[in-house]
Chain A
């Protein structure tokens, strides 16, 4: 079955450490996204990528970095510069056909990061 795989599902990090969250999709979607969700809140866009080797900052990109070397993969690194990294991280993908394609996102199951 096609879908998005995120790993790890749970991750604990000590302050000052960088961590990388994996996101892989086999849907042949062009666009991929990373969102952050805090308890009881909506999703905030961190980074997004429409094509390989290209990505754009979202609303809360500070302290995060991404790469898009392959169409299937869009890893997110949470760096030590991110002051409050404890959150639920969601990766998504969509067919990049202009603005209409952005509306139908398929999400992975998420990665829950806790900083100790």
Chain B
């Protein structure tokens, strides 16, 4: 099957660090991506992992472990503007390329 699981909500305070986990059950799994979506807006690409390990992009980092079918997005030095929904998404090898999204994690950052 092709499904991704992530927590529905996470709450944190400004300046803190938060980790959003994503587990996947996919056949032909190729890579894991992360997207941010503010209310009423379009998703924007944050990060992508095709290999195991950590990818760092400024305050955001993403990790993948293929053996555990698990990944996470790490947000550091949280700011109020980071309040948004975060989606993990998986792509697949073979045939046409397409991306399957998780249900999203709503992050609320408080002062």
Contact = CB atoms under 8 A, between A and B. Distances in A.
A104 B99 CA distance: 9
**Interface bracket on B:** 20 to 34
Given A107-B42, A109-B41, A102 B87 contact: no
Given A42-B87, A90-B43, A103-B50, 7 more contacts: A41-B104, A48-B96, A100-B30, A102-B92, A103-B33, A104-B45, A105-B33
A98 to B, nearest CB: 6
B67 interface: no
A102 B42 contact: no
Contacts of A48: 96, 98
Given A43-B87, A99-B30, A106 B97 contact: no
Interface string A1-34: 0000000000000000000000000000001010
A63 to B, nearest CB: 19
B89 interface: yes
Contacts of A50: 96-97
14 contacts: A43-B43, A44-B101, A45-B98, A48-B96, A50-B97, A58-B98, A98-B97, A99-B94, A100-B91, A102-B99, A103-B99, A105-B35, A105-B99, A106-B45
Interface of B: 30-33, 35, 41-45, 48, 50, 87, 89, 91-94, 96-104
Nearest to A91: B42
A40 B33 CA distance: 19
Main SS of chain A's interface residues?
A: mixed
A110 B45 CA distance: 15
B33 A98 contact: no
Most buried by B among A44, A48, A98, A109: A98
Contact of B92 (A41, A94, A99, A105): A99
A93 to B, nearest CB: 12
B100 A45 contact: yes
A114 B60 CA distance: 35
Contacts of B31: 99-100, 103
